[in-house]
């Protein structure tokens, strides 16, 4: 008998994140991103990790079929509340910042694969304005799915990044041009001699200084040489400037850097959510 339930991942780079199986949800994956995906790593290949992602997807589909985005959102809210920092209540009452940010990476593995699923995250994120949400996506080829994700990324407590590489940058930049007021750009950066010759010139035409976050291809502490270009901001965690942090009581690299996250909000004058 199949089991159901939703579960977050708490890792030493991003902190709390939600995962789905790549095979069923990465509808816009390129061959390059499939080959270098985090999901290829040893810790993502254990039977338990694989089953967690498949259980998450089974549960997502069940809740959507029984009650639509609203029912799924109710259950996502339970996960989001589990990710509150331990000192959230005291910080809310005292009007100060928590020791670590309250944040959720929508996917550390997987992607947005259908509109109703995106809508559930939109409902949940609106109901938790103090939590910061961020995501990278390659699901921008389908107009209706892109429009739904744009609504999610437009929320004040959410930030969306169109993930591009040498294989999909043309379609990614076309999508970006439609709503450059909402979206950000993320580059899966190959070595300079492997990068498509038109990619950086195309970025120059639409990006500003240090606007595009780049992730040099990496395995562990080894990464492709950083391309130093005026419009690229190389991920400090990939370069080793921020070390992986195993202690959940301390900010993780993504939280400490915060380049990819939406601007944090104060806990002052906010109704305390117990």
Average pLDDT, integer, range 84-105: 93
Whole-angstrom CA distances from 153 to 63, 179, 188 are: 23, 10, 20
- Residue 124 and residue 76 in contact, taking contact as beta carbons nearer than 8 Å: yes
- Assess if residue 141 is contained within a domain: yes
Residue at 62 is within a domain: yes
Which pair of tokens denotes residue 74?
A: 């109710």
87 falls within a domain: yes
Q: How many CB atoms lie within 10 A of CB 208?
A: 9
- Write phi, then psi, for 132 (nearest 5 degrees): -95, 130
pLDDT tens for 97-121 read 999 999 999 999 999 999 999 999 9
> Do β-strands 222-223 and 218-219 pair in parallel, antiparallel, or remain unpaired?
antiparallel
Rounded to an integer, what distance in angstroms lies between the CA atom of residue 244 and that of residue 84? 20
User: Which DSSP letter does residue 5 get?
Assistant: -
- Tell me, what's the pLDDT at 268? 41
**Whether the Cβ atoms of residue 149 and residue 139 lie closer than 8 Å to each other:** yes
Quick one: 69 exposed, middle or buried, by C-beta within 10 A (0-12, 13-18, 19+)? buried
pLDDT category at 204 given cuts 50, 70, 90 is very high
Split at pLDDT 50, 70, 90, the class of 45 is confident
Which residue, among 129, 95, 125, has the nearest Cα to 18 in the 3D structure?
A: 125
Is the distance from CB of 110 to CB of 137 less than 8 angstroms? no
Q: Judge whether 268 lies within some domain.
A: no
Q: Which of 165, 250, 169 is nearest to 215 (CA)?
A: 165
Report whether 20 contacts 118 (CB < 8 A): no
Ramachandran region, residue 110 (left: φ > 0; alpha: ψ -120 to 50; beta: rest): left
Residue 187: is it exposed, middle or buried by C-beta count within 10 angstroms (0-12/13-18/19+)? Answer: buried
Tell me whether strands 232-234 and 218-219 are parallel, antiparallel or unpaired.
unpaired
Q: Is residue 274 part of a domain?
A: no
Cite the beta strand spans of 165-249 per DSSP E: 184-189, 212-216, 218-219, 222-223, 232-234
The model's pTM: 0.93
The answer as to whether 265 is a domain residue is no
Q: Does 160 fall in a domain?
A: yes
Under 8 Å CB-to-CB from 194, ≥6 apart: which residues? 166
Give residues with Cβ within 8 angstroms of 197, minimum separation 6: none
pLDDT greater than 80 at residue 243? yes
**Number of separate domains in the chain:** 1
Q: What digits encode the pLDDT tens for the residues 245-260?
A: 999 889 999 999 999 9
User: What is the domain range of residue 246?
Assistant: 8-257
In a domain, 270, yes or no: no
- Paired with 92 in beta bridges are none
pLDDT for residue 1: 79
């Amino acid at each position: 008998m199949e089991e159901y339930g939703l579960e977050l991942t708490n890792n030493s780079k991003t902190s709390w994140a939600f995962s789905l199986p790549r095979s069923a949800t990465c509808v816009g994956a390129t061959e390059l991103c499939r080959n270098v995906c985090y999901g290829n790593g040893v810790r993502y290949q254990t039977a338990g990790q694989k089953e967690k992602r498949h259980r998450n997807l089974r549960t997502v589909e069940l809740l959507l079929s029984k009650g639509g985005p609203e029912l799924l959102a109710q259950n996502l809210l339970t996960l989001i509340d589990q990710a509150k920092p331990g000192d959230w209540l005291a910080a809310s009452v005292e009007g100060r910042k928590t020791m670590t940010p309250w944040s959720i990476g929508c996917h550390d593995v997987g992607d947005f694969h259908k509109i109703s699923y995106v809508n559930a995250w939109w409902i949940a994120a609106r109901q938790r304005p103090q939590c910061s949400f961020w995501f990278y996506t390659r699901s921008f080829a389908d107009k209706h799915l892109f429009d739904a994700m744009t609504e999610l990324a437009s929320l004040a407590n959410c930030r969306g990044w169109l993930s591009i590489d040498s294989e999909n940058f043309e379609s990614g930049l076309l999508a970006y041009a439609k709503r450059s007021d909402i979206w950000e750009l993320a580059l899966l950066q190959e070595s300079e001699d492997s990068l498509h010759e038109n990619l950086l010139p195309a970025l120059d035409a639409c990006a500003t200084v240090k606007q595009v976050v780049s992730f040099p291809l990496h395995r562990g502490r080894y990464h492709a040489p950083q391309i130093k270009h005026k419009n690229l901001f190389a991920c400090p965690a990939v370069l080793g400037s921020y070390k992986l942090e195993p202690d959940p009581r301390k900010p993780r690299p993504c939280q400490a850097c915060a380049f990819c996250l939406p601007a944090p909000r104060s806990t002052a004058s906010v109704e305390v959510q117990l």
